[in-house]
Amino acid sequence: MISEATSITPGNSGLGAISWNILGQTYVPKQFTDRCFAWHATLPPGTFVPPHIHPTQDEYLYLLQGPLDVLLDGIEVGTATGDLVRLLMGLPHGIFSKSPGVAKVVVWVSPSRRLFDLFRGLDNLTDPDAIVALSAQHEVDFLPPVA
Query: In the prediction, which pLDDT does 56 show?
Result: 97
Residue 25, pLDDT > 50, answer: yes
Mean pLDDT confidence for 105-109: 98
Kindly list the domain boundaries of the chain, sorted by start residue. 20-141
Query: To the nearest whole percent, how much of the chain has pLDDT over 70?
Result: 95
Residues whose CB falls within 8 Å of the CB of residue 107, separated by 6 or more in sequence, listed in order: 38, 39, 40, 41, 59, 60, 61, 62
Share of the chain above pLDDT 90, in %: 85
- pTM of the prediction? 0.92
pLDDT at 85 over 50: yes
pLDDT given at position 147: 61
For the stretch 29-39, pLDDT in tens is: 999 999 999 99
CATH superfamily of 20-141: Jelly Rolls (2.60.120.10)
**Is residue 38 within 8 Å of residue 107, measured between CB atoms?**
yes
Q: What is the DSSP string of 46-78?
A: T-EEEEEE-TT-EEEEEEEE---EEEETTEEEE
